Structure 1
């Protein structure tokens, strides 16, 4: 099959988060199963910066912002739309990772108008919005894009309820998990022998990197462990840096060095970076579908998430880590428990990996996609 995958943004720094990870994972898995896959996306960078995805043709198109800033909802990629008009007929099926944005919404409409069987996957990005500007956008673009899709994929019941509220009940909704590859289960020991507690996500206020940094400053002097923060800055970078500066000023060099903020890494290096850690933490609130949690579980790490995380039930049911409330005290207690009982932490990590292997493996997801694509042909 000739498959086109469409994404809002593909960035070396991983700024678009989970949807980009899902699109790359799906594209790679489908290519490994013998399909001709093309992945197209907007980019904040030069076209030559497109990542290398084995077996997949990756094309990126420059974006520009409509209005102030360059938030994802305000970017446009006119050259991508021109490319779709020219090349839509080259594909048997299209899969659009759909957001309420001006990259993927017009792309989905163009593909449908071009009679390309088109499926959409919304990644929790389309929720009911009562304000007039959103209503106008939804009536003109969002609702038609979802209703005319051959399939509208959702990840959980919460997303399905929100989609039905925003779009209505007529589309062909279908459940689809966010498949992740299973890396080598053997993790190399860190050179210093210290376990690493890792936060790897966008530094957006909802992710609460500042909360993690503050808890780390309490624990680093008491426990021989490292605490690392990695991710592109989306507002909280300066606040995190201030917490770390204050900590360094009050500690000797050896302790101060245990908490670090590292530069963002490309999506292709996430698995490798996770393999260096012992515990993964995402203290975000009302986080619907955090791919980083699945990736950490696939890597065999115990995870700590809040009770408003969309994967809290998965973590609890698999006993793959700890689910806490949004207080600093609860997060601190969870990390103390894992750091003082490494055998328990390792066992939880292995259970998480098994749960992902059973239900979220990317090969299984690719097979499901093939069935949907074939049915639409």
Structure 2
């Protein structure tokens, strides 16, 4: 990069108010970079909201897109209008670095082409590898996209940022240069996501969202799809605790039942309140490693029950303080029942989670590392 302050183009398939982990990460990165003096633009897809607006010091450009694939299958894969490439070229010419989030999406392919044509340094954050979707068609499309577009982006990127060892192996297998790959955990707003300060705050939060007092509440935050383990957690329902779901889902998501509460999609400020209203966080997802919602739950001081994914290995989590399980409804039910009956253990796990989050997931550290990666990408051309 040659200018001060740096000019950064962030590219994401979706951006808030659309709900999802990647879009939340991009919004936080954009805001944090802008607060440090960078000139930040975002290129993303939009539904009815299109055009360019300034949001909290960030220029957000939304391109019209068809979102029918997500509505029909639960897979977030917007198909933007043809003008996407023209907009990507225009914005890449103004940027010192183009930072793409995940190589699966048409917005990423357009940004790759624009960076190539304008000779702008390209940085790629790859959040996940292949997702074990129940549809053979979806799995086949993933493989084809990664084999063509993913390989092209990974070979071109001067820095490839990954969240865990599983994704590192994935990007190396798809053409990323070993010397370009670095691990960088997502950041979390540890001021927004924090433990409840009192029992009264917990009661008030439960009343706000219509949640029962006097019950152990197990929280799930994410899309209500098999990849995230929504169906697995429903199958693990038990009389010892209630299940609370925050997130959007596809067709066939059942309505509330006894002991099951669906709150729908919520903005981050309200999600943070729901974390504080609950006792345990459970996310039996697959092929994710260390997803953002687990980091948020840890910052909120909740005991975490999640999948024993090899992606957690580099983070050296204490397995006595974070419960890492196989994706099995019976094992999940037994662990949640044990935690529901053991308040001292929940407290111990919650304290560990908060301490770990404060040490490891602060946004200032993330952004400092990100700026270093941008600088290195600019110098490696």
Deviations 1:277-299 (A, max 9, x none): 22111122333442111111111
| C-alpha contact (below 8 Å) 2:69/2:76 kept by paired residues | no
Q: What is the CA distance between 1:141 and its match in structure 2?
A: 3.1
With normalisation by structure 2, the TM-score equals 0.81
Alignment of 1:110-149 (within 5 A): 110-125=114-129, 137=145, 141-149=149-157
Cα pair distance change 1:329/1:194, threshold 3 Å: same
Cα pair distance change 1:318/1:211, threshold 3 Å: closer
| C-alpha contact (below 8 Å) 1:312/1:323 kept by paired residues | no
Q: What is the CA distance between 1:151 and its match in structure 2?
A: 0.6
Q: What is the CA distance between 1:211 and its match in structure 2?
A: 2.7
2:247 to 231, 239, 259: 231
Cα pair distance change 1:356/1:135, threshold 3 Å: closer
| Unmatched runs of 5 consecutive residues or more in structure 2 | 1-5, 205-212
Secondary structure of the equivalent of 2:92? helix
- 2:13 maps to what in 1? 8
Alignment of 1:152-231 (within 5 A): 152-169=160-177, 172-183=180-191, 185-187=194-196, 188-191=201-204, 192-216=213-237, 218-219=238-239, 223=240, 225-231=241-247
1:141, 1:334 → 2: CA distance?
A: 41
1:90 to 94, 101, 120: 94
Cα pair distance change 1:43/1:4, threshold 3 Å: same
- 1:330 maps to what in 2? 331
Deviations 1:325-352 (A, max 9, x none): 2222211221122222222212211211
| C-alpha contact (below 8 Å) 1:318/1:352 kept by paired residues | no
Return 179-188 or 264-273, whichever deviates more.
264-273
Cα pair distance change 1:48/1:335, threshold 3 Å: farther
2:320, 2:186 → 1: CA distance?
A: 20
Secondary structure of the equivalent of 2:119? coil
Secondary structure of the equivalent of 1:8? coil
1:48, 1:274 → 2: CA distance?
A: 34
2:245, 2:342 → 1: CA distance?
A: 23
| C-alpha contact (below 8 Å) 1:305/1:312 kept by paired residues | no
1:366 equivalenced with 2:379 (yes/no): no
| C-alpha contact (below 8 Å) 2:29/2:367 kept by paired residues | yes
Cα pair distance change 1:344/1:287, threshold 3 Å: same
2:61, 2:84 → 1: CA distance?
A: 9
Q: What is the CA distance between 1:203 and its match in structure 2?
A: 0.9
Cα pair distance change 1:227/1:142, threshold 3 Å: closer
1:136, 1:281 → 2: CA distance?
A: 32
Deviations 1:53-95 (A, max 9, x none): 6333323222126989574446234333222222322222221
Cα pair distance change 1:347/1:83, threshold 3 Å: same
1:44 equivalenced with 2:47 (yes/no): yes
| C-alpha contact (below 8 Å) 1:12/1:49 kept by paired residues | no
Secondary structure of the equivalent of 2:89? helix
Number of matched residues? 353
2:129, 2:48 → 1: CA distance?
A: 23
State the superposition RMSD in angstroms.
3.2
| C-alpha contact (below 8 Å) 1:11/1:45 kept by paired residues | no
Secondary structure of the equivalent of 1:310? helix
2:356, 2:58 → 1: CA distance?
A: 28
